[in-house]
């Protein structure tokens, strides 16, 4: 598994090297099975995670592999990274909640186009032989079968919580290194807890999980090290994470927040 990432710092400019949190760090050590990256939007946590996955050459679960030109803008940071392993494990993957939803929508559109094509071919070949019709339909039907087989039937569910959990349960069973960027994106609190249990079990079986998240539920994963991204990157305890403190305060003082809204303050 990954033991440490070192970043060569030489005051270079341009994205993503000019992100304050990225500029502040020379190395990050991974001593626990789970590492959690937290911070506001734009703090650099997702950029750091994706660059780390790209450096590891992880399999990407969305539309493009990480060596696709779409991810070239992260290359300056990737080039500055050096990874140290105890065991270099190629199983596992990179997962982005937002990117996966986009990919599923793309597959839904592709499925509709293929189904329309099948109908057109069947109509055009209705007076042809079965052999000719099957030959014309074979490529489209093969693609439709692959979509259904790989994504467990109805794609419409895959942009929602049940679909995400189905994907996680199907794919997160091998010991490996898993890079997860906001996997809670479509999940209710109860579904987040189900993912919490799944990730704890995965780590207990010997996997390494590096996760960027806004979810206080996932931040509470067992045996985890938490790094908070602000203008710097600091190791913090769960109780000291800013979003956790705010959520606790909000839940304990909901009436106060409602009064502030009603009063316009």
| CATH number, residue 59 | 3.40.50.300
Q: Are residues 174 and 229 in the same domain?
A: yes
How many Cβ atoms sit within 10 Å of the Cβ of residue 106? 13
Same domain, residue pair 249 and 235 = yes
Phi–psi pair at 58, nearest 5 degrees: -75, 155
pLDDT of residue 178: 96
Domain annotation covers residue 91? yes
Do residues 46 and 92 both lie within one domain? yes
Angle between helix 161-171 and 97-124 (nearest 10) = 100
Domain endpoint, select from 156, 179, 198: 156
Domain total in the chain: 2
Instruction: Give the relative orientation of helices 189-204 and 161-171 as an angle to the nearest 10 degrees.
Output: 10
Averaged pLDDT score across all residues of the chain: 88
Same domain, 108 and 87: no
- The 10s digit of each residue's pLDDT in 70-96 is 899 999 999 999 999 987 777 889 998
Same domain membership, residue 67 and residue 6: yes
Verify that 30 and 83 share a domain, yes or no.
yes
pLDDT at 151: 55
Q: Identify which of 61, 2, 77 has the alpha carbon closest to the alpha carbon of residue 35.
A: 2
**Domain membership of residue 133 as a residue range:** 100-156
123 within a domain of the structure (yes/no): yes
List Cβ<8 Å contacts ≥24 apart for 220-224. 220/196, 221/34, 221/36, 221/196, 222/34, 223/32, 223/33, 223/34, 224/32, 224/33, 224/34, 224/35, 224/36
| Full-model pTM | 0.83
């Amino acid at each position: 598994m990954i033991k440490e990432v070192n970043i060569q710092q030489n005051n270079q400019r341009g994205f993503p090297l000019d992100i304050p949190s990225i500029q502040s760090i020379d190395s990050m050590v991974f001593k626990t099975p789970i590492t959690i990256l937290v911070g506001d939007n734009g703090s650099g946590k997702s950029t750091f995670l994706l660059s780390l996955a790209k450096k590891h050459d992880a399999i990407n679960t969305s539309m493009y592999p990480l060596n696709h030109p779409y991810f070239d803008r992260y290359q300056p940071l990737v080039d500055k990274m050096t990874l140290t392993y105890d065991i270099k494990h190629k199983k596992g993957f990179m997962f982005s909640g937002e990117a996966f939803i986009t990919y599923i929508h793309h597959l839904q559109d592709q499925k509709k186009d293929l189904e329309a094509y099948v109908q057109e071919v069947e109509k055009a070949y209705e007076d042809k032989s079965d052999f000719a019709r099957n030959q014309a339909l074979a490529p489209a039907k093969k693609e439709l079968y692959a979509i259904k087989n790989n994504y467990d039937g109805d794609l419409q569910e895959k942009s929602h919580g049940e679909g995400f959990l189905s994907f996680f349960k199907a794919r997160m069973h091998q010991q490996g290194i898993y890079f997860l960027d906001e996997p809670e994106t479509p999940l209710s609190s109860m579904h987040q807890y189900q993912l919490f249990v799944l990730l704890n079990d995965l780590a207990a079986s010997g996997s390494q999980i590096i996760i960027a998240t806004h979810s206080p539920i996932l931040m509470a994963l067992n045996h985890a090290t938490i790094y908070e991204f602000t203008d710097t990157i600091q190791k913090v305890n769960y109780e000291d994470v800013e979003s956790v403190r705010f959520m606790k305060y909000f839940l304990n003082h909901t009436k106060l927040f409602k009064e502030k809204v009603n009063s316009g303050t």
